[in-house]
Structure 1
Amino acid sequence: MKIASITAIVSAISLAICLKGLHYFHLIKWNPIGFYKKWELFEGSSKLFQWSTLTLLLFVVALLLYISLQFVHIIPAVLTSLLLGLLFTITIEWFALDLPLQLASFKKLSIPFIVVVICLLRFLLETANFHMKEHTAQKGN
């Protein structure tokens, strides 16, 4: 559980920093902490608190993904991270940008955001697969 927590912390902090950078350089057309205003949560709080809460939420999601996906070591991590990354990013941007269900909406998706999420999912999956195989190998000895 220690390795899962450390991996999830690194993944959450990396994704939060990447989201801030993508937003700062206008590579995504939505605000990563904009859902607070939309859902009327923590509106009066500081940006640091909002980003910290987002990082905590990303940590929980990454930890759940790590734990659940370590049992999918049969499927290659490249394929799994690519499919899950595309599914997650398209869903997030679809809701964040309020895109209609049209083929032309795919042009509005952020390629850098998709790449960042796929790379971080690959990191999570490879780490989970490695430690699962190591655990089963030590169990057999």
Structure 2
Amino acid sequence: MRVAVITSLVSALALALCLKGLHYFHLIKWHPIGFYKKWNWFEESSKLFQWTLFIFLLFIIGLCLYLTMRYVYVIPAVFSSFLLGLLVTISIEWIALDLPLQLSSFKKLSIPFIVTVICLLRFLLETANFHQQEHTAQQGN
């Protein structure tokens, strides 16, 4: 369980840092913690609290993914991270940018954001697969 927590924490911190960098260099057209303002959550609180809560939410999501994918280690992490990453990133950008359901909307999606999320998901899911296979091999001995 310790490996799961550490891996999820590193993944959450790296994703938050990458999202801040993507926003800073205008590679994404939405703010990573802009959903607080959009949904009227914690508007009066400090940016540090908002980012901390955001990282905590990413940590919980990463931990759930890690624990789920640990028991589905038969599926290669390459495919699952790619498909899950595409699904999640396209959904997030579609909601954040309020894009219409048209084929021309795909041109407005951020390729660096998609690549970042897919890479971090690959890190998370490969680690889960590796540790589950190692655990299974040790039980066999």
Q: Give the TM-score taking structure 1 as reference length.
A: 0.98
Identity across matched positions, percent? 72
Q: Distance in 2 between matches of 1:95 and 1:42?
A: 20
Aligned match of 1:7: 7
One-letter amino acid of the structure 2 residue matched with residue 82 of structure 1: F
Q: How does 1:1-141 map to 2 (within 5 A)?
A: 1-141=1-141
Aligned to 1:45, the other structure's residue is in SS state coil
Gaps of 5+ in 1: none
Structure 1: which 4+ aligned runs deviate by more than 4 Å? none
Q: Distance in 2 between matches of 1:127 and 1:107?
A: 33
Q: Distance in 2 between matches of 1:28 and 1:49?
A: 22
One-letter amino acid of the structure 2 residue matched with residue 56 of structure 1: F
Shift of 1:74: 1.4
Shift of 1:44: 0.7
Aligned to 2:118, the other structure's residue is in SS state helix
Q: Distance in 2 between matches of 1:75 and 1:49?
A: 37
Q: Distance in 2 between matches of 1:54 and 1:75?
A: 29
Q: Distance in 2 between matches of 1:110 and 1:69?
A: 26
Gaps of 5+ in 2: none
| CA deviation vs aligned residue, 1:85-114 (integer Å, no higher than 9, x gap) | 000000000000000111000000000000
Q: Distance in 1 between matches of 2:24 and 2:123?
A: 24
Aligned pairs, number? 141
| CA deviation vs aligned residue, 1:61-101 (integer Å, no higher than 9, x gap) | 00000000112221211111110000000000000000011
Shift of 1:50: 0.6
